[in-house]
């Protein structure tokens, strides 16, 4: 489904299914890993559906995933084991000391890979920028630092829009129009 760059990619718009590819970007394997080595943008918050899609894509590119780790509370359910293409992936859930925007993948082929998790429902343009930055081998930012930088960009864009609207209002004598889209592009990783 094609989306305008300023639209949200809501889970209801793009339901996950095995036929949809994982939205995954990875650093080139020739570069040493940084704080994050790429990004994953799941279509829903249902890890039982999303992880097999991620596992298939990662297995094909970097090697089989026997385990992953995430921060407890970032996903609605916390299963211990998840089925994936022909094998079971073991989950580790951390209560603290783990970036809430990160999933850590353990691979037989390439070791540990930390990926930025772009929350489902994030605007397409925002998700694209985050995924590109997370896979950039020259950047050494954590997942939370990438999200914070994008939030600052969003806040600055909102302030710029507000100033333009005030100038238009004063120049034309009319009230500024309100944006039709919700400007809070990022979901709280801990829930609603």
pLDDT score of 131: 95
pLDDT score of 182: 37
The C-alpha atoms of residue 165 and residue 31 are separated, in whole angstroms, by 45
Q: Which of 132-136, 157-161, 168-172 has the highest mean pLDDT?
A: 132-136
Is-contact 35 62, C-beta < 8 A? no
**0.85 surpassed by pTM:** no
pLDDT score of 133: 95
The C-alpha atoms of residue 23 and residue 136 are separated, in whole angstroms, by 16
What confidence tens digit (pLDDT) does each residue in 63-81 have?
Answer: 788 889 999 888 888 888 8
Q: What average pLDDT does the segment 41-67 reach?
A: 86
Residue 53: both structure tokens together = 């899609």
19 pLDDT exceeds 50?
Answer: yes
As beta bridge partners, residue 67 has: 90, 106
The C-alpha atoms of residue 120 and residue 111 are separated, in whole angstroms, by 26
What confidence tens digit (pLDDT) does each residue in 121-141 have?
Answer: 888 999 999 999 999 988 889
Q: What is the pairing mode between strands 81-84 and 87-94?
A: antiparallel
Q: What average pLDDT does the segment 94-110 reach?
A: 87
Q: Where are the beta strands (DSSP E) in 54-154?
A: 67-71, 81-84, 87-94, 102-107, 111-117
């Amino acid at each position: 489904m094609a989306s305008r760059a300023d639209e949200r990619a809501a889970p209801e718009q793009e339901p996950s299914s095995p036929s949809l590819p994982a939205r995954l970007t990875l650093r080139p394997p020739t570069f040493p890993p940084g704080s994050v080595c790429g990004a994953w943008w799941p279509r829903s918050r249902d890890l039982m559906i999303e992880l097999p899609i991620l596992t298939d894509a990662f297995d094909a590119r970097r090697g089989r995933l026997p385990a992953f780790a995430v921060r407890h509370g970032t996903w609605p359910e916390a299963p211990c084991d998840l089925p994936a293409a022909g094998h079971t992936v073991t989950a580790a859930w951390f209560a603290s000391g783990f970036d809430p925007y990160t999933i850590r993948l353990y691979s037989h082929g390439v070791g540990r890979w930390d990926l930025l998790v772009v929350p489902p429902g994030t605007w397409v343009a925002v998700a694209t920028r985050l995924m590109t930055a997370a896979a950039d081998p020259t950047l050494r930012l954590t997942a939370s630092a990438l999200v914070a930088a994008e939030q600052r960009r969003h806040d600055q864009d909102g302030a710029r829009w507000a100033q333009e609207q005030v100038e238009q209002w004063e120049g034309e004598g009319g009230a500024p129009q309100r944006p039709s889209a919700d400007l809070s592009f990022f979901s709280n990783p801990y829930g609603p």
